Chain A
Amino acid sequence: DIQMTQSPSTLSASVGDRVTITCRASQSISSWLAWYQQKPGKAPKLLIYKASSLESGVPSRFSGSGSGTEFTLTISSLQPDDFATYYCQQYSSYSITFGQGTRLEIK
């Protein structure tokens, strides 16, 4: 199975900050990568698919980039609603895998 490794595991930031979360794949996944936001007690919400395509209805402060084995999710100016846990997911292979998650907390 393809392993997905996110960093950092926890990120402390303030409203208005620009933050970046990284996801690395154990082998090339081309651009078959998605990013999700999850809040406590809720289902994950799709933010980005195909590495850099913004899901409909998602604010433009969210952006994704990368291909191959290294990917980033960037939030250009943190809003109070953005404090949550973020997961990457690869769907390149027959076996889908997720990163372990990055918890974004208020500094």
Chain B
Amino acid sequence: QVQLVQSGAEVKKPGASVKVSCKASGYTFSNFGFSWVRQAPGQGLEWMGWISTYNGRTNYARKLQGRVTLTTDTSTGTAYMELRRLTSDDTAVYYCARPKGLLEEDAFDIWGQGTMVSVSS
């Protein structure tokens, strides 16, 4: 079945970087892009950006520009989200999500299980 499986929980110090992976299965990887969405404890959903698996084009949320990088590896069917210069405000569950259609700006019908990233000194 179609699924996205994310890497495990991370604990990082302020100023460090984190890289979360999202492995896709059950569909043709290059047919759909990826978005990343995060959720701080007890808070709502925040879109971080998307990446096209077709041409590698990216679009990042203004708030995170310069700190986030999205990449994909077509050979392994895996998407990655790297976030740099972490602060306590980056403590959140990070989700990868697949758009329902061929456009990156779309509803998300498939979600990863989430990866908790904790930032603490």
Query: Could you list which residues of chain A lie within 8 angstroms of chain B, going by C-beta atoms?
Result: 1, 32, 34, 36, 38, 43-46, 49-50, 55, 87, 89, 91-101
CA distance A89 to B99 in the complex (A): 12
B105 lies within 8 A of A96 (CB): yes
- Residue pairs across A and B with CB atoms within 8 Å: the count is 58
A98 lies within 8 A of B46 (CB): yes
CA distance A36 to B62 in the complex (A): 23
Chain A neighbourhood of B112, CB < 8 A = 43
Chain A neighbourhood of B37, CB < 8 A = 44, 98
B47 lies within 8 A of A43 (CB): no
Of A34, A55, A96, A101, most buried by chain B (CB within 10 Å of CB) is A96
Question: How close is B90's CB to chain A, nearest CB, in angstroms?
Answer: 18
B59 lies within 8 A of A94 (CB): yes
A98 lies within 8 A of B107 (CB): no
Q: Which residue of A lies closest to B6 (CB)?
A: A43
Known: A43-B112, A43-B114, A87-B45. A94 touches B105 (CB 8 A): yes
Q: Within 8 Å of chain A (Cβ to Cβ): is B61?
A: yes
Set A49, A92, A99: member contacting B100, Cβ < 8 A: A49
CA distance A95 to B49 in the complex (A): 8
Chain A neighbourhood of B108, CB < 8 A = 34, 44, 46, 89
Question: How close is A34's CB to chain B, nearest CB, in angstroms?
Answer: 4
Chain B neighbourhood of A94, CB < 8 A = 59, 105
Interface string of B95-118 (1 = CB under 8 A from A): 100001000011111011110000
CA distance A1 to B112 in the complex (A): 26
Q: Which residue of B lies closest to A6 (CB)?
A: B44
